[in-house]
Amino acid sequence: MLGRLNHIAIAVSDLGAATALYRDTLGAEVSEPQPLPEHGVTVVFVVLPNTKVELLEPLGEKSPIAAFLERSPAGGIHHICYEVSDILAARDRLKAEGKRVLGDGEPKIGAHGKPVLFLHPKDFNGTLVEIEEA
Amino acid sequence: MLGRLNHIAIAVSDLGAATALYRDTLGAEVSEPQPLPEHGVTVVFVVLPNTKVELLEPLGEKSPIAAFLERSPAGGIHHICYEVSDILAARDRLKAEGKRVLGDGEPKIGAHGKPVLFLHPKDFNGTLVEIEEA
CATH of residue B99 = 3.10.180.10
Residue B128, chain A, CB below 8 Å: the answer is: no
pLDDT for res B111 = 87
B76/A126 Cβ within 8 A: yes
Q: How many domains would you assign to chain A?
A: 1
**Torsion of Cα atoms, A38 then A41 then A47 then A49, to 10°:** -80
B32 classed as catalytic: no
Is there a contact between B50 and A5 (Cβ–Cβ < 8 Å)? Answer: yes
For B54-73, what is the mean pLDDT? 95
Q: Tell me how far CA of residue A31 lies from CA of A47, A48, A51, A55, B12, in angstroms.
A: 8, 12, 14, 10, 33
Give the separation between CA B34 and CA B66, rounded to whole angstroms.
18
pLDDT for res A53 = 98
Residue B109, chain A, CB below 8 Å: the answer is: no
> Residue A79 belongs to what domain range?
5-133
Which of B51, B55, B93 shows the shortest C-beta gap to A51?
B51
- Sorted by sequence, the CB contacts under 8 Å of residue B48 that are 6+ apart come out as A2, A3, A4, A5, A82, B28
The share of chain B scoring above pLDDT 70, in percent, equals 100
pLDDT for residue B118 is more than 90:
yes
A27/B1 Cβ within 8 A: yes
3-state SS of chain A is CCCCEEEEEEECCCHHHHHHHHHHHCCCEECCCEEEHHHCEEEEEEECCCCEEEEEEECCCCCCCHHHHHHCCCCEEEEEEEEECCHHHHHHHHHHCCCCECCCCCCEECCCCCEEEEECHHHCCCCCEEEEEC
Catalytically annotated residue among A57, A83, A130, A133 = A130
Give me the half-sphere count of Cα atoms (radius 13 Å) on the Cβ side of residue A43. Answer: 23
Is there a contact between A102 and A108 (Cβ–Cβ < 8 Å)? Answer: no
What residue type is A34 in one-letter code? Answer: Q
Per CB-CB distance under 8 Å, the chain B contacts of A97 are 24-25
- Sorted by sequence, the CB contacts under 8 Å of residue A67 that are 6+ apart come out as none
Chunked mean pLDDT (size 10), chain A, 134 residues: 96 98 96 95 98 97 94 96 97 96 95 95 97 96
Residue A101, chain B, CB below 8 Å: the answer is: no
B55/A51 Cβ within 8 A: no
In chain B, the residue whose alpha carbon lies closest to the alpha carbon of A57 is: B125
Which pLDDT band, with edges at 50, 70 and 90, does B78 fall under? very high
CA distance B49 to chain A (A): 5
Give the separation between CA B126 and CA B12, rounded to whole angstroms.
20
For B69-78, what is the mean pLDDT? 96
Provide the ipTM: 0.96
